[in-house]
Amino acid sequence: DAKTTQPPSMDCAEGRAANLPCNHSTISGNEYVYWYRQIHSQGPQYIIHGLKNNETNEMASLIITEDRKSSTLILPHATLRDTAVYYCIVRVANTGNQFYFGTGTSLTVIP
Amino acid sequence: GAVVSQHPSRVICKSGTSVKIECRSLDFQATTMFWYRQFPKKSLMLMATSNEGSKATYEQGVEKDKFLINHASLTLSTLTVTSAHPEDSSFYICSARDYNSYNEQFFGPGTRLTVL
């Protein structure tokens, strides 16, 4: 699985959009971009994933660049409960392979 | 989404004892489960892949005789930390793969192990 690079930490004001970047320049054509988050002392929570088209669900939006070498997770209206470590992972979908987590981005939402 | 549980949620034990952690898929069958370990302020590190009815596959550097994994049924995998020492204190997380949900994985809530 391709490696990802994320900033170690970010702050965001409550109610504003949080934009979390991820670089995955060595991504392969059949690898998806997954985003998970981990709130302190809990298991990882699935957020969203995509291949090349932008994706949106009730939690977030995922914007993938046309060359697929980077992506951005957008939390449209951050709340204090969104404070967590966010992990960007690239992996071939539908294979059930294991996830290899990077260091992630620690997002702090400030009141 | 599918639900994965872990038991216990936290455990404290004396050095030298063995501790068993259970991982259950509550509403789906999981032929494959994964075990991760997470030290404070660190990322999740994959320890092993647990396959129902066969031996687990361990990641490089993980001692298979120390971390015993049993996956005897389609809904249960267990991780036993044998002869635990303080350096084994960590947050242990499992995930389970659901074949009926595009092979996606669902994570358990984790087990906090403290070895005194």
For A2-48, the DSSP string reads ---B--SEEEEETTS-EEEEEE-TT--TTEEEEEEEE-TTS--EEEE
B29 has a chain A CB within 8 A of its CB: no
Burial B15-27 (b: 16+ CB within 10 A, else e): eeeebebbbbbee
Residue B105 has pLDDT above 90, yes or no: no
For residue B41, what pLDDT is reported? Answer: 87
Query: How do the pLDDT tens digits run along chain A, 111 residues long?
Result: 568 999 999 999 999 999 999 999 999 888 899 999 999 889 999 999 999 989 999 999 999 999 999 999 999 999 999 999 999 999 876 666 778 888 899 999 999
Contact flag B105-A43 (C-beta cutoff 8 Å): no
For residue A5, what pLDDT is reported? Answer: 94
Residue B1 has pLDDT above 80, yes or no: no
Contact flag B107-A96 (C-beta cutoff 8 Å): no
B37 has a chain A CB within 8 A of its CB: no
Residue B65 has pLDDT above 80, yes or no: yes
For residue B104, what pLDDT is reported? Answer: 77
For residue A96, what pLDDT is reported? Answer: 61
For residue A1, what pLDDT is reported? Answer: 59
B80 has a chain A CB within 8 A of its CB: no
For residue B82, what pLDDT is reported? Answer: 97
Per the prediction, chain B carries an average pLDDT of 92
Half-sphere exposure of A97 (CA within 13 A, CB side): 13
Q: How far apart are CA A69 and CA A81, in angstroms?
A: 29
Distance from CA of B83 to the nearest CA of A (A): 24
Q: How far apart are CA A45 and CA B106, in angstroms?
A: 8
Residue B111 has pLDDT above 80, yes or no: yes
Distance from CA of A40 to the nearest CA of B (A): 10
Of A43, A93, A103, the CB nearest to B107: A43
Cβ neighbours, 10 Å, residue A3: 13
Residue B115 has pLDDT above 80, yes or no: yes
> Contact, B26 vs B97, CB < 8 A?
no
Residue A25, C-beta contacts closer than 8 angstroms, at least 6 positions apart: A69, A70
Q: Which two tokens stand for residue A49?
A: 């994933």
Contact flag A104-B1 (C-beta cutoff 8 Å): no
Distance from CA of A69 to the nearest CA of B (A): 22
Q: How far apart are CA A6 and CA B44, in angstroms?
A: 15
